[in-house]
Amino acid sequence: MGTNKAIATIGRTKEILEKYGFSFKKSLGQNFLIDVNILKKIITYAGIDQHTGAIEIGPGMGALTEQLAIHADKVVAFEIDQRLLPILQETLAAYPHVEVINQDILQAEVNQVIKEQFRENQEIKIVANLPYYITTPILMKLLMDRLPVTSITVMIQKEVADRMAATPSTKSYGSLSIAVQYYTYAKVAMTVPKTVFMPQPNVDSSILHLQLRKEPPVYLENETYFFDFVQASFAQRRKTLRNNLARFFNNQFSKDEIESVFIACEIDGTRRGESLTMEEFATLANQFYRKRNKE
C-alpha cells in the first residue's frame, strides 16, 4: 500500500475502506474528505504552523489529521469509533507526534488532556471536520469549557455556519449566532461543495473560523439567564419581543412592569428578536434579571 499518496484521494480512501472492510455509520455522521486542496485550505485558515498544537475531533481515516501532522508541532485527535483505531494506526504510522484518543468529545475532559499532551503555554487550535448531526453541542461544549485555545476552525453544514456567523436583521440570525459570538469572532471562510466527501452528504458545507475573544463583548449579570432570555426572544420568530417574553416570564411580571423595562432600556417591545444586537439583548436581560432579584 503506497503511503506516499495523501489519504484524501478517492483511490486511497477506497483502498483503505476495502482493506479494513469498513462501512460508514450513519449514526456517527461519517463523511470522509477526498480533496487534499480543501484540507490544505483548512490548515491555512486555521493558521497552523510548526509551533502550534492542534486538537482534532473525529479524524475518521486520518485525512485531515495527516495534513495537520505535516504542519503542526503536535496533534491530538478524539475518535469515538473504535473500528477506526487500527486504520488510524496504519495511516498515521509515519507521525509519532500524533496522539489518537478513543473518546467521545462530549464526555472528554479536554482541559485535562491539554495539560497532559501539550507544552505549557503552547498555542493550541482546534481543527475538525465535524459530524453534522452533533455540530452545535460539540462547539457549545468547547466554548463553554473555556479551553485555552486561540481558535476553532471547522468544516460544518453550510446552513449552521451561516447561523453561527450571522448579523442582526438577517434570516440566519438567532440565539445560536449570539451564543457563538459571545465567545468568538465568527467568520465563514469558504463554502465547500458536497462532492468533496465520501459518501456524499445531501447539503453543502462551509469552513467556519472562530477566533476566541479575550474578553466577553458585553457585561452580563448572569450568563445562563442571558442565554435563556435570548432563546426565549426567538421562540417564535414572527412574534414581537413583547409577546415572546410574556411567555418566558410566565406572569412573573405584569404587562406594565415589562413595558417599564423596555422604556428604561429605550428598546421598542414591538420589535422582533432578530432586529436586536447582542448589546441590546444584554441591556434588557440585565435589567430584567436585576428586577427579578430585587423582588
Q: What are the residue boundaries of the structural domains of the chain, listed by start?
A: 10-212, 223-294
Which CATH architecture is the domain 223-294 placed in? Orthogonal Bundle (1.10)
- Options 2.30.110.10, 3.40.630.10, 3.40.50.150, 3.40.50.300; CATH of 10-212: 3.40.50.150
Q: How many of the other CB atoms lie within 10 Å of CB of 270?
A: 9
31 is known to lie in a ligand binding site: yes
210 is known to lie in a ligand binding site: no
Point out the least confidently predicted range of 11-20, 41-50, 75-84. 11-20
* Angstrom distance (rounded) from CA 118 to CA 288: 43
79 is known to lie in a ligand binding site: yes
The pLDDT, as a whole number, for residue 198 is 79
pLDDT per residue over 11-30, tens digit each?
A: 888 898 889 887 766 666 56
pTM above 0.85, yes or no: yes
Q: Label residue 82 by pLDDT band (50, 70, 90).
A: very high
* Angstrom distance (rounded) from CA 130 to CA 202: 15
204 is known to lie in a ligand binding site: no
121 is known to lie in a ligand binding site: no
130 is known to lie in a ligand binding site: no
* Angstrom distance (rounded) from CA 25 to CA 188: 28
Mean pLDDT of 191-208: 88
Residue 210 grid cell: 472562530
